[in-house]
């Protein structure tokens, strides 16, 4: 009888899906979500509501069931503290400082025991403010094409693909709000999950996946959160330069799931000079790269489809080891670089690095008395200086090794 019920469910799924065909809508999705008419999708804004409505409508077109608390939406409210360092708490009140936003939640119900969560935050910075790296005097819209219209579009592409097979898991797709304000949407969801939290098999997070470079470097975080992950990501890879990080903790929404003992994988193509600036626009997206990553993740999901419940494993929290800084070089590191030293991806004008003559592409190999072998080595060396200190920085610039004096 149980077999018959599953068979009937399978037939009904196939019948329903026959009315849907796969369409690559990545370009359209990114260009809508990162259009200036949405005014940067700041949490709780009209533009963010437009983005939420768009995602919900895409779910509806794909015949993906609603799984919020109000159709596709899971509303939450919080009071924004006057001190940005104070902790935000969720509450309902009529105060002027209250902000209401929503997660957008869709569900493919295959009648399976376990559910895979695929998430991406869809909020951004609006006109800038806290979190913006823009230094201009006039406010400008931060469209957030890479951060994170790209991840949202990839999530929708996977939703379309997963309508057709991999029936051994259910799939929960979540567009998170409030990520830029401190992972608010994912934090709220795991505390108020619309599926049984213990039924979640693993979580895939997509944040800033739109700038795949020519060397095809792709960072995957959380590879140590299940014993099966490393083998799976490597056996399905035939084109990417994978940069693995075992930790399940990081500055994106996967962290909310990891701390609830759920295996996570977080995909990221790296920071860039347009990060958190008005220049993060759709014309700079590598659309073919987004599709390549989507297909790669789909192959990982397919490989894990027959593995039942994925085993969770605690990882070392690398963020607890990150030293505190009193100064900055004023450069943006290339977090995807793993060939020795710290490669500079951008230099901010009128900051110590700029004044010292550092340029994009320089690889820092020594700072003060410390050799710099990787990103952690750079951070440990930098933490030893205070404002007013003068030291030397040694960089590789193409074939040359250059020594520069720098004052913090």
Q: Which helix (H) or strand (E) holds 397?
A: strand 390-397
Whether residue 245 contacts residue 219, with contact meaning beta carbons closer than 8 Å, is answered with: yes
Report which listed range, 74-83, 84-93, 119-128, is most confident: 119-128
Architecture in CATH for domain 324-407: Roll (2.30)
φ and ψ at residue 118, rounded to 5 degrees: -125, 115
Task: Using alpha carbons, select from 193, 204, 195, 120 the residue that is nearest to residue 166.
Answer: 204
Superfamily per CATH, domain 20-318:
Zn peptidases (3.40.630.10)
Q: Model confidence over 289-318: pLDDT tens digits?
A: 999 999 999 999 999 999 999 999 999 876
- CA distances to 120, 126, 200, 385 from 158, rounded to whole Å, are 12, 27, 18, 46
Sign of CA dihedral 221, 222, 227, 232: negative
* Burial of residue 8 (number of CB atoms within 10 Å: 0-12, 13-18, 19+): exposed
- Chain centre distance of CA 216: 17
27-40: average pLDDT? 98
Residue 133 CA to residue 197 CA, distance in Å, equals 36
Task: Using alpha carbons, select from 288, 270, 283, 287 the residue that is nearest to residue 36.
Answer: 283
pLDDT of 7 reads 47
As a whole-number percent, the residues of the chain with pLDDT over 90 amount to 78
Q: Are strands 370-371 and 200-206 parallel, antiparallel or unpaired?
A: unpaired
Ramachandran area for residue 180 (φ above 0: left; ψ -120 to 50: alpha; else beta): alpha
Q: What are the boundaries of each domain within the chain? A: 20-318, 324-407
Whether residue 160 contacts residue 58, with contact meaning beta carbons closer than 8 Å, is answered with: no
Least confident of 13-27, 52-66, 204-218, 344-358: 13-27
pTM, entire model? 0.86
């Amino acid at each position: 009888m149980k077999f018959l019920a599953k068979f009937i469910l399978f037939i009904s799924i196939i019948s329903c899906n026959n009315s849907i065909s796969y369409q690559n809508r990545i370009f359209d999705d990114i260009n809508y979500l990162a259009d200036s008419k949405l005014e940067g999708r700041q949490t709780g804004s009209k533009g963010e509501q437009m983005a939420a409505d768009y995602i919900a409508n895409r779910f509806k077109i794909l015949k993906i069931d609603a799984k919020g608390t109000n159709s596709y939406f899971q509303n939450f409210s919080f009071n924004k503290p006057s001190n940005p360092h104070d902790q935000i708490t969720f509450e309902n009140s009529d105060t002027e400082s209250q902000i209401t936003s929503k997660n957008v939640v869709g569900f493919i119900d295959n009648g399976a025991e376990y559910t895979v969560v695929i998430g991406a935050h869809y909020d951004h910075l609006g006109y800038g403010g806290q979190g913006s790296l823009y230094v201009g005097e006039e406010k400008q819209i931060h469209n957030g094409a890479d951060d994170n219209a790209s991840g949202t579009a990839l999530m929708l592409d996977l939703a379309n693909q997963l309508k057709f097979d991999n029936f051994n898991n259910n799939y929960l797709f979540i567009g998170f709000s409030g990520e830029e304000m401190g992972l608010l949407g994912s934090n709220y969801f795991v505390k108020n999950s619309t599926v049984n939290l213990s039924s979640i098999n693993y979580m895939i997070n997509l944040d800033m996946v739109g700038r795949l470079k020519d060397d095809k470097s792709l960072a995957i975080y959380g590879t140590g959160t299940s014993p099966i992950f490393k083998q799976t990501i490597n056996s399905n890879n035939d084109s990417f330069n994978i940069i693995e990080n075992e930790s399940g903790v990081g500055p994106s929404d996967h962290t909310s799931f990891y701390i609830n003992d759920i295996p996570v994988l977080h995909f990221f193509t790296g920071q860039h000079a347009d990060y958190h600036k008005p220049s993060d626009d759709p014309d700079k997206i590598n659309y073919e790269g987004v599709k390549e990553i989507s297909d790669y993740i789909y192959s990982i999901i397919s490989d894990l489809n027959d593995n039942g419940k994925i085993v969770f494993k605690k990882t070392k929290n690398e963020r607890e080891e990150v030293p505190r800084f009193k100064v900055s070089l004023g450069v943006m590191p290339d977090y995807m670089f793993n060939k020795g030293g710290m490669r500079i991806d951008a230099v901010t004008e009128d900051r110590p690095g700029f004044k010292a003559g550092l340029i994009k592409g320089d690889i820092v190999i020594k700072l003060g008395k410390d050799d710099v072998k990787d990103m952690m080595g750079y951070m440990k060396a930098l933490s030893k200086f205070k404002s007013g200190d003068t030291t030397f920085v040694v960089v590789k610039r193409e074939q040359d090794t250059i020594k520069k004096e720098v004052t913090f």
